[in-house]
Amino acid sequence: MSAPMDPTPATPPPGASPREVVLVSGISGSGKSVALHALEDAGFFCVDNLPPELLRDFLRLEQDRQDRRLAIAVDVRSAASLPHLLPLIQQLRAEGVAIQVVFLDASTDALVRRFSETRRPHPLSAEPPRGSPARRVEDHAPDERRALVDAIELERELLAELRELATVVDTSQLRSAQLRLWMRDLVRAGHNRLTLVFESFAFKHGVPLDADYVFDVRVLPNPHYVRELQPLTGRDEPVADYLRAQPEVGEMLGQIEVFLARWLPAFEDDLRSYLTVAIGCTGGQHRSVYFAETLAQRFRGRAATLIRHRELSARE
């Protein structure tokens, strides 16, 4: 049985700025170590796998160092304490601690592939016998591979409520360098108000798991079929000129803008930190990129905005 959470407040001293804390969690194999290293490089003091029941004590010890930004990783290894974590986060926020929760996720196929490549056991699966060499997932018997998938699904269930509270980052298609950049952008955006994240992607590589809204622009004229535009992207002016000349492009842009503008105040009232709007086309190079760039520009004066180009950043 886990120890009850200490109710002693961790409120910042009078006149001090709210303590900035980034809580990193997510599915095993989704890149938490990479994310934590990125935050460390950004100047955060990082603690890995801190038991949730020690979080309040740790923050109290850090009260005299209000200038130090903290990043704390919590994962399924602390499963016994997870039911207490959500109410603790809410209590700390009410006490003036600015906690930003970032949840890393990835598709099951991507996770299975990563465990195969690293040859590490899943924390919820049985450890291999002591002294026996680890085997690739592909070399396992079907029932052993199934056991890994079952462990991943069990972990999803255990962390489902925490995921609902967090800013989700889908790492299925991300290289380590991309994830480091995305983490840097997240912490730079801060969490004093709602941040709109406009993300372009290719449907052929799957819909991002972190999307709150998904818009499909594949029905619009495709610059890919214009020879001189094919090697360019939606960030290049010739592609933008081509798309601006298409009436249906302007119509769809306007409709998406009106929809988001209508519901933006509701999301702000719901105390959401991030709202991810994913725009997809066939290859993730032209139309979706143009839409993400244009929408971010239109909303820049109304909300904090971030732009992600999943397929473009993968090739850079």
Beta bridge partners of 71: 22, 46
Whole-angstrom distance, CA of residue 41 vs CA of residue 44: 7
Whole-angstrom distance, CA of residue 235 vs CA of residue 293: 7
Residue 134 pLDDT: 39
Amino acid code (one letter) for 248? E
Residue 140 pLDDT: 46
CA atoms within 13 A on the CB side of 312: 22
Amino acid code (one letter) for 74? V
Per the CB < 8 A criterion, the answer to whether 26 and 158 are in contact is no
Report the DSSP pairing between strands 195-202 and 304-309: parallel
* Nearest to 253, CA basis, from 239, 262, 243: 243
Domain boundaries, the chain: 20-189, 195-315
Whole-angstrom distance, CA of residue 136 vs CA of residue 194: 43
Write down the pTM of the prediction.
0.68
What beta strand segments (E) does 4-106 contain?
Answer: 20-26, 45-47, 70-73, 98-105
CB burial of residue 223 (10 Å; 0-12, 13-18, 19+) = buried
Per the CB < 8 A criterion, the answer to whether 207 and 201 are in contact is yes
Amino acid code (one letter) for 144? E
Whole-angstrom distance, CA of residue 154 vs CA of residue 247: 48
Residue 242 pLDDT: 98
Residue 27 pLDDT: 93
Per the CB < 8 A criterion, the answer to whether 193 and 272 are in contact is no
* Nearest to 73, CA basis, from 42, 39, 43, 110: 39
CA atoms within 13 A on the CB side of 210: 29
Fold of the CATH domain 20-189: Rossmann fold (3.40.50)
Residue 123 pLDDT: 83
Q: Could you tell me the mean pLDDT of each successive run of 10 residues in the chain, 316 residues long?
A: 50 53 92 91 88 88 82 81 84 86 93 85 63 42 68 90 89 89 77 82 93 96 96 97 97 97 87 87 97 96 90 72
Task: Give Rg (Cα) of the chain.
Answer: 22
Whole-angstrom distance, CA of residue 288 vs CA of residue 77: 39
Whole-angstrom distance, CA of residue 158 vs CA of residue 155: 5
Amino acid code (one letter) for 259? F
Whole-angstrom distance, CA of residue 72 vs CA of residue 149: 27
Residue 14 pLDDT: 45
Residue 138 pLDDT: 44
Q: Would you give the distance in Å from CA 286 to the centre of its chain?
A: 24
Per the CB < 8 A criterion, the answer to whether 36 and 73 are in contact is yes
